[in-house]
């Protein structure tokens, strides 16, 4: 949070969080106790480009990818459910990827693809479970975005990505 000066300048509340660490998530929930949340956007993600073939797959990286990309958003959603219940929007947005599509899969990137596919299933389960309480839970993919993860060759700027998701 100390180096997120641009974000803080927008008036956003910046909090420390490691989505893979239950203690960190519990600490965030404690700090946000009583704060209503209308929309939760789970945007944690990691991509290891080295696991493109079965021969190069690293199971430790795969486990870490599942912790960040799938279990992390579930952990945060569960911890902040009381805050969402107090909010007006009751909306959960999980940022996924087209690379998670089973139909469109061309192979490679085992850790990223499978962990984001797991996130999609988690979202479906949460959506079904919480629908009767007025919740909306969706997955959105931002496209291939020029970020540290997407790289300089990506087709979309961050502004274009956000604009597309808002539309």
Start-to-end CA span in the chain (Å): 29
Q: How far apart are CA 81 and CA 130, in angstroms?
A: 10
Mark out the alpha helices in 1-94 (DSSP H runs): 5-9, 22-31, 59-66, 72-86
Task: From 61, 73, 83, 82, select the one nearest 116 (Cα to Cα).
Answer: 73
Q: Which residue has the tokens 């911890």?
A: 79
Q: Of 70, 112, 113, 117, which residue is the catalytic one? A: 112
- Please report, for the chain, how many H helices and E strands are present, in that order: 6, 3
DSSP state of 155: S
Q: How far apart are CA 50 and CA 93, in angstroms?
A: 28
Annotated catalytic residue 112: yes
Q: How far apart are CA 148 and CA 132, in angstroms?
A: 38
The set of catalytic residues is 112
């Amino acid at each position: 949070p100390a180096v997120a000066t641009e974000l803080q300048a927008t008036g956003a509340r910046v909090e420390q969080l490691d989505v893979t660490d239950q203690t960190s998530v519990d600490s965030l929930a404690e700090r946000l106790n009583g704060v209503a949340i209308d929309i939760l956007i789970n945007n944690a993600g990691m991509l290891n480009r080295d696991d493109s073939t079965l021969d190069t797959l690293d199971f430790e990286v795969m486990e870490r990818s599942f912790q960040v990309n799938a279990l992390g958003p579930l952990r945060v959603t569960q911890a902040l459910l009381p805050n969402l219940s107090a909010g007006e929007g009751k909306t959960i947005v999980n940022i996924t990827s087209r690379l998670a599509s089973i139909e469109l899969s061309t192979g490679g990137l085992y850790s990223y693809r499978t962990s984001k596919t797991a996130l999609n299933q988690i979202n479906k389960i949460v959506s079904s479970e919480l629908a009767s309480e007025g919740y909306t839970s969706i997955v959105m993919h931002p496209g291939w975005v020029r970020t540290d993860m997407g790289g300089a060759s990506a087709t979309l700027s961050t502004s274009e990505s956000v604009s597309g998701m808002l539309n």
